[in-house]
Amino acid sequence: MTANRDPILEVRGLTKHFNVAHGFLSKPQWLKAVDGASFSVNRGETLGIVGESGSGKSTLGRMLLNLISPTEGTAAFQGTELFPMDRGREAMLRRKMQMVFQDPYASLNPRLKIGEAIAEPIRANKVLSGRKNIARRVGELLDLVGLPPEAAHSYPHEFSGGQRQRVGIARALGVEPEFIVCDEVVSALDVSIQAQILNLFADLKERLGLTYVFISHDFSVIKHVSDHIMVMYLGEIVEIAPAGKLFDDPAHPYTRALISAIPDPDMDIHTEKILLEGDIPSAVSPPSGCRFRTRCYMTRKECSSVHPELESRGEGHRVRCPYCR
């Protein structure tokens, strides 16, 4: 991205292939979930990652937190290599790097009261000691995410989806992280609640100096939160650019199609919608050449035999298509 900013995370050639063959003696079949992702994230900014289901964005996010081991590639957080990771480095990085998941109820123990759920990582990571100190910190975290102090004495099932997501955020903040991966964190919420949670993330970013990787299939959400945007298709990055640049001048035909589908009341009613034909192909046997060619309205003969590289268009803008302007 921009050379004059301070990268907190640098990723080079990160790849994850899963063997999906059935049976002990079966020939391996590799699902290419993520293929050669290279990018950086600047300190204090939000990188939005967007793409359809099956694009590899959630797998990539989990690799960054070492929840999934990569097949190939490297990643460094604040100059510290993430792979392979020994226990000492993992404990240190667990405090600095956290994740907020799509389903807040699934990430909370239903038998634990909210206060104990938030206190658990604080105690486990030795951020604070002493019951009173931890209880005081739990109250501060609840206030930080917009929940009353008495919420500490309730169970997860007593809260709405939006409130549970606030609890999940408070739990992640308990270890005082600098970097948070947000994986589809508002996709299960009503639109009005989505806006509240997105505004909360923006407020926390400013108040605490956080850096985010924000993953979503919804381009309107990514547009709202991101400083830079990375578009993924079938395991590959197809375009990456500063958010304003991407929306003002999208280059890749897949990016153009996704942007054209964003509901916008201010958009001219005659603005052309780009409809994607068919479904996303299998990641076990992706198309030859350009992986997007089977759904691309700009495809040509060469696209079936030439696999395009991610090429620079200047100003931090990179595109995986030699034929788009």
User: pLDDT tens, 74-101?
Assistant: 999 999 999 887 777 788 888 999 999 9
pTM (two decimals): 0.93
Calculate what percentage of the chain has a pLDDT beyond 70.
96
**Regions of the chain short of the pLDDT cut 70:** 1-4, 264-271, 325
- How high is the pLDDT of residue 3? 40
Do the strands 72-77 and 7-19 form a parallel or antiparallel pair, or are they unpaired? antiparallel
Do the strands 317-319 and 7-19 form a parallel or antiparallel pair, or are they unpaired? unpaired
Apex CA 265: angle with CA 261 and CA 271, to 5°?
50
Q: In what order do the strands lie in the sheet with 311-314?
A: 97-100, 179-183, 211-216, 46-50, 228-233, 236-242, 317-319, 311-314
- How high is the pLDDT of residue 153? 97
- How high is the pLDDT of residue 58? 96
- How high is the pLDDT of residue 91? 82
Domain 7-264+271-319 has CATH 3.40.50.300: yes
